[in-house]
Structure 1
């Protein structure tokens, strides 16, 4: 029987997924969250013509002929403007950010002026007015941030400037992580003679948090149905249940059998993917279930290919439909086999910014250290012919990991 293609498997995984409900949070708690509505400015910025420099506010006609001597009639500072109208032959000492006095149309920078005994001598007037006009940045009612944007430092600073103290954002998707296997134990424990460290949950939890989700660590289930079911039930509140290990169809691969007793509707269990051929997907009521292979590299690569798009769809991320970026192959790539291959690779950059990617010497899916060295995955289509060095390849960046 032919294995399910990655594109078809991903389409099934994403089918019916829609953005989660919205919730309102204080702006100080909104970093990394995803906007659920377009955000409109509640004020005009700047709210008045503002000085862009320290200096003197003057009328341009008064400094048309230099040097000019003007009487200093007051001071304008940020938060404390000069309230009178500027008259002929007058100047106001002004500081950056202060409202430009009525009647003034030019700021002479302080380096071009000399004040003594209440009179300022303008020695030079640059052609620039050094005035930030009202509304230069944005105007009240203007939409500046949009639904689907993830809120980083720049967006949050703008939202605050737009006078928003609270923001409507998507609820964080909850992802329950359930490791399985008698052979695995948490890091830091003294291992038995046949045991290995359970490392995958920590990589998955980090990926989930980086994508804006909320991981729920359920622990490690033993290789028996009762243990699996008990721990899986503790994650019923999650939007997605991710299991690690036991995703194949061997005698001791119990995940599908255990969850079937809970009502799992299994859709597929193998895909044409390398690494990550054993990949279980189904629905447990409203909960989606992804079952990854226990191999750490296979699990984390599978998470990038399947779990990350699911999280972005649930969050309504604007970039969720963008195509994969491209780079140039740093060496000739051999013809590929029948499964879509995600090759661990490292990057170099040319002076012009072009990204050059080269696969690591070993693509053994058991090598966690090599995966940590990689900064991207090269995507090779099934049965792709040999690709000469310098040709374009699609990549999945791992830089943020």
Structure 2
């Protein structure tokens, strides 16, 4: 049996990206970059005006100067030079002509009289001028290997005239579940059967993490069917199963994997729920066997499955992160094992769910994360600090909050 930390280390050691591909930036959202990217151009690539205003020379401070011409963004200013006693009207984004070393916003001067304006008595050099390269210097590393592409990194790439990038191939994940008592949600069930909720959740979560996911028809509890499902899945980077890993005569999943040559890396984890979680590989294909109880299985997928998929993706931000926060109420648990407690973090405090048994599905939908208690812990008092691990978390709320920071 391994600790959570040792299990994660073993998962990370085995979960590495295997290939790359070249794609257009328009198709790169949520993909992981496979090598550093340097800027091709400075940004901005010329000095330009940060405001609509007047381009002036500081030698004319406090003087009355004549408006000579208007310069718009995109205008060519080659050969244009400001002479003493003059100014230019200049618009935001326009290139700074020779002789202009400050911009005075329109609202900071009186309206023109007979084509002249009165300059203020104090003008700072380079006032409201965006200097070439102040955002990005040419040759600067703008995206690092292992970074996941966002809408804003796509904008960064576009600003450099980069049309295609090399990314790691999406991990190929195959999901199936064992158990003749299981039926898919679109099938009719008998009184002794249940719907398979685990596989749809694992598929959806894997896709959310950026994997290319396939679902193999549910294998029955016969080893022949299980082996056939496994053999049909060995093209994948990882196979994820749920069910058939506990101690019992009908739990034949691990036995079927072993007979097909699976090397077991670990087969029990010091965690409650989900102790029977097993991780191994057949050839180059990783295998994650999860418990069949929905909450137990998906909690362990959130820990070990997520870590493996992020590792296979080449994502440098693959480590589980935590939010230190207070617990909003007293919590009692049975000591002896590291215990996972599902709950809700509202941006201020964490509140454990009242109902959170391993076989339940609803707690997974109601919670947005969990805490893991050390095995000696039997009680945590309200106001104590805990480490919250998000599972489905976004900084949005179902009610409006104040957005402004006050001193």
- Give your verdict on TM over 0.5: yes
CA contact (8 A) 1:35 1:167 kept: yes
CA contact (8 A) 2:182 2:196 kept: yes
Question: How do 1:152-231 and structure 2 match up within 5 A?
Answer: 152-231=150-229
2:62 paired with 1:65? yes
Partner of residue 285 from structure 2, selected from 287, 292, 301:
287
Structure 1 distance, partners of 2:136, 2:280, is: 48
Partner residue in 2 for 1:259? 257
Partner of residue 341 from structure 1, selected from 339, 358, 362:
339
Structure 2 distance, partners of 1:330, 1:181, is: 39
Cα deviation digits, residues 333-391 of structure 1 (max 9, x gap): 33542222110011234xxxxx3112111221222212211111011122235333222
2:115 paired with 1:109? no
Partner residue in 2 for 1:79? 74
Partner of residue 378 from structure 1, selected from 371, 384, 395:
371
RMSD: 2.2
Structure 1 distance, partners of 2:270, 2:341, is: 14
* Change in 2 beyond 3 A, CA 1:13/1:143: closer
Give the alignment's TM-score, normalised by structure 2.
Answer: 0.89
Cα deviation digits, residues 88-137 of structure 1 (max 9, x gap): 222222111010111111222223353476x2424657746211011111
Give the alignment's TM-score, normalised by structure 1.
Answer: 0.90
Provide the secondary structure at the position in 2 that maps to 1:281: strand
Q: Which runs of 5+ in 2 are unaligned?
A: 395-407
Partner residue in 2 for 1:138? 136
Cα deviation digits, residues 165-207 of structure 1 (max 9, x gap): 1222211111110122111111132222222111112211222
Structure 2 distance, partners of 1:215, 1:190, is: 25
Provide the secondary structure at the position in 2 that maps to 1:176: strand
Q: Which runs of 5+ in 1 are unaligned?
A: 350-354
Partner residue in 2 for 1:352? none
Partner residue in 2 for 1:271? 269
CA contact (8 A) 2:279 2:287 kept: yes
Task: Tell me the CA shift for residue 231 of structure 1.
Answer: 2.0
Cα deviation digits, residues 253-309 of structure 1 (max 9, x gap): 121222223212234433221111221222111111111112111111011110111
CA contact (8 A) 2:320 2:389 kept: no
Provide the secondary structure at the position in 1 that maps to 2:309: helix
Structure 1 distance, partners of 2:299, 2:278, is: 14
* Change in 2 beyond 3 A, CA 1:123/1:257: same
